[in-house]
Amino acid sequence: MQIEHFFDYKSPYAWLAQVATDQLEHEFGVSVARIPYTLDIPAYLGAAALDARGKDVIGTRNAHQWRRVRYAYMDCRREANRRGLVLRGPRRIFDSRLAHAGFLYAAEAGVWRAYHDEVYTRFWRRELDLEDGVALAELLTCAGADGAAFPDWARHTGLARLATLQMAAEARGVFGVPSWIVDGELYWGAERLDRVRETIALHRATR
């Protein structure tokens, strides 16, 4: 059966879903394909950037959007604390495309796991700028890939490949993360992991 997981490094909910996705593989002996999906957060939650005092210097979000954002981070921090993880909300909305291209590059080199885990951990500790190509190249080198070649690859190959994956995902109904597609059926949100697990179990029981 085909199982695909869509993630975005700047989504706290997607980050918290990584361990559960790994557990699917261990529990059922299946392989889950990880696919980056870049959210356009300003399109539905407005743009924002905080100064050193925590004040928004852009000012395009309305009160409803701020309540949603504040709740989301409060909710995710609670869950992160339960798991012993550090989750520090970013001060601005990052364009995560370059980091996602880095994932594709790491996957080609067979070292996606080391890169993937380090990007998530560092970003949510506010130790990584997802738009910093030099920092991402260093992470790729540490993971075991040729980091020096990454900027040129991203510019000429990686970002175009990422855009193609994005269009293909949206053609199949993907609109947010974390999401899973199991044999063509879409599930969005970590609260649907039980349904994902049930679908996999049913498939294994009837094959």
Q: pLDDT at position 91, please?
A: 84
Pairing mode of beta strands 3-7, 179-182: antiparallel
List the beta bridge partners of residue 58.
none
Q: What percent of the chain has pLDDT over 70?
A: 94
Percentage of residues in the chain with pLDDT exceeding 90?
Answer: 77
Give the integer Cα–Cα distance in Å for 18 and 91.
Answer: 23
For 120-135, what is the mean pLDDT?
97
Q: Where are the domains of the chain?
A: 3-206
pLDDT at 44: 66
- pLDDT tens-digit readout, 30-48: 999 999 999 987 676 677 7
Identify whether the C-beta of residue 177 lies closer than 8 Å to the C-beta of residue 14: yes
Of the pLDDT bands very low, low, confident and very high (cuts 50, 70, 90), residue 1 is confident
pLDDT for residue 37: 98
Question: Model confidence at 11, in pLDDT bands (50, 70, 90)?
Answer: very high
pLDDT at 206 (0 to 100): 77
Q: Which pLDDT tens digit goes with each residue over 39-94?
A: 987 676 677 766 776 777 677 888 888 898 899 999 999 999 999 999 998 888 89
Q: What residues does 3 pair with on adjacent strands? A: 32, 182
At 79 the pLDDT is: 92
Put simply, whether the predicted model's pTM sits higher than 0.95 gets the answer: no
When mean pLDDT is compared across 4-8, 86-90, 108-112, 196-200, the lowest value belongs to 86-90
* pLDDT per position as a tens digit, 162-187: 999 999 999 999 999 999 999 999 99
CATH topology of domain 3-206: Glutaredoxin (3.40.30)
Distances (CA, A) of 104 to 33, 140, 162: 12, 11, 8
> Do residues 57 and 51 touch, judged by C-beta distance below 8 A?
yes
Give the strand order in the sheet containing 179-182. 32-36, 3-7, 179-182, 185-188
